[in-house]
Homo-oligomer: A and B are copies of this chain.
Amino acid sequence: MTDTTAYDRLTARFARIATIDECASMLGWDAAAMMPPGGGTARGDQLAVLAGLSHAEVIVPQVADDLAAAEVAPPEDVWAAANLRLMRHAHTRATAVPADLVEARARANSHCEKVWREAKRTSDFALVRPHLAEVVKLVREQAAALAPALGLSPYDALMDGYQRGIGAADVASIFGAYESFLMEALPAAEERQARLPPPIEPAGPFPIPAQEAVCRLVSERMGLDFDHARLDRSAHPFSGGTRTDVRITTRYDAADYTQAVMAVIHETGHALYERGLPAARARQPVGEAAGMAIHESQSLIVEMQACRDDEYLSWLGRVLHRAFGGDAAPYQTENLGRVFRRVERGFIRVEADEMTYPAHVIMRFRLERALISGNLAVADLPGAWNDALRELLGIVPPDDAKGCLQDIHWYDGAFGYFPSYTLGAMSAAQLMAVAVDRVRGLRTAMGIGDLSPLIDWLRKQVHGRGSLLGFNDLLTEATGQALNPGFFQAHLRRRYLGG
Residue among B19, B36, B42, B244 making CB contact with A49, cutoff 8 Å = B19
Q: Is the CB of A38 within 8 A of B227?
A: yes
CB contact list, A194-245 vs B, under 8 A? 225-230, 241-245
Known: A36-B245, A41-B244. A46 touches B27 (CB 8 A): no
Nearest CB of chain B from residue A447's CB, rounded to whole Å: 29
Q: Does A353 contact B (CB under 8 A)?
A: no
Q: Is the CB of B225 within 8 A of A39?
A: no
Residue among B30, B39, B43, B49 making CB contact with A228, cutoff 8 Å = B39
CA distance A225 to B23 in the complex (A): 27
Known: A26-B30, A27-B27, A30-B26. A228 touches B46 (CB 8 A): no
CB contact list, A78-115 vs B, under 8 A? none
CA distance A30 to B227 in the complex (A): 15
Q: Does A37 contact B (CB under 8 A)?
A: yes
Nearest CB of chain B from residue A326's CB, rounded to whole Å: 26
* Closest residue of B by beta carbon distance from A225: B38
CA distance A16 to B52 in the complex (A): 11
Q: Which residues of B contact A225 (CB under 8 A)?
A: 38
* Closest residue of B by beta carbon distance from A232: B34
CA distance A230 to B35 in the complex (A): 8
Q: Does A184 contact B (CB under 8 A)?
A: no
Q: Does A170 contact B (CB under 8 A)?
A: no
Q: Does A134 contact B (CB under 8 A)?
A: no
Q: Which residues of B contact A45 (CB under 8 A)?
A: 19
Q: Which residues of B contact A30 (CB under 8 A)?
A: 26, 30
Known: A20-B49, A30-B26, A49-B16. A39 touches B242 (CB 8 A): yes
Q: Does A68 contact B (CB under 8 A)?
A: no
CA distance A53 to B53 in the complex (A): 9
Q: Does A22 contact B (CB under 8 A)?
A: yes
Q: Which residues of B contact A228 (CB under 8 A)?
A: 36, 38-39
Q: Does A69 contact B (CB under 8 A)?
A: no
Counting chain B CB atoms within 10 Å of each CB, the highest count among A38, A41, A45 belongs to A38
Q: Does A168 contact B (CB under 8 A)?
A: no
Q: What is the oligomeric copy number?
A: 2
Q: Which residues of B contact A35 (CB under 8 A)?
A: 245
Nearest CB of chain B from residue A94's CB, rounded to whole Å: 18
Nearest CB of chain B from residue A46's CB, rounded to whole Å: 5
* Closest residue of B by beta carbon distance from A45: B19
Q: Is the CB of A22 within 8 A of B34?
A: no
Q: Which residues of B contact A38 (CB under 8 A)?
A: 225, 227-229, 244-245
Q: Does A50 contact B (CB under 8 A)?
A: yes
* Closest residue of B by beta carbon distance from A57: B53
Q: Is the CB of A242 within 8 A of B42?
A: yes
CA distance A229 to B35 in the complex (A): 8
* Closest residue of B by beta carbon distance from A20: B49
CA distance A46 to B228 in the complex (A): 16
Q: Which residues of B contact A16 (CB under 8 A)?
A: 49
* Closest residue of B by beta carbon distance from A24: B23
CA distance A228 to B30 in the complex (A): 14
Q: Is the CB of A244 within 8 A of B26?
A: no
Counting chain B CB atoms within 10 Å of each CB, the highest count among A19, A227, A230, A245 belongs to A245
CA distance A245 to B38 in the complex (A): 6
Q: Is the CB of B36 within 8 A of A27?
A: no
Known: A42-B244, A244-B42. A229 touches B19 (CB 8 A): no
CA distance A218 to B51 in the complex (A): 39
Q: Which residues of B contact A19 (CB under 8 A)?
A: 42, 45-46, 49
CA distance A457 to B248 in the complex (A): 44
CB contact list, A373-406 vs B, under 8 A? none
Nearest CB of chain B from residue A461's CB, rounded to whole Å: 24
Q: Is the CB of A22 within 8 A of B36?
A: no
For the A-B complex with A23-B27, A30-B30 known, give 18 more contacts whose Cβ atoms are closer than 8 Å.
Answer: A16-B49, A19-B45, A19-B49, A22-B42, A23-B23, A23-B46, A23-B49, A34-B230, A36-B230, A37-B227, A38-B227, A38-B229, A38-B245, A39-B241, A39-B242, A39-B245, A42-B243, A53-B53
**Chain A residues at the B interface, C-beta cutoff of 8 Å:** 16, 19-20, 22-23, 26-27, 30, 34-39, 41-43, 45-46, 49-50, 53, 225-230, 241-245
* 18 A-B residue pairings within 8 Å (CB atoms): A19-B45, A19-B49, A20-B49, A20-B53, A22-B46, A26-B27, A26-B30, A30-B30, A34-B34, A35-B245, A36-B227, A36-B230, A38-B225, A38-B245, A39-B244, A41-B244, A42-B242, A53-B53
**Which 10 pairs, one residue from A and one from B, show the smallest C-beta to C-beta distance?**
A39-B245, A38-B228, A38-B227, A19-B49, A42-B244, A23-B46, A38-B244, A19-B45, A37-B227, A22-B46
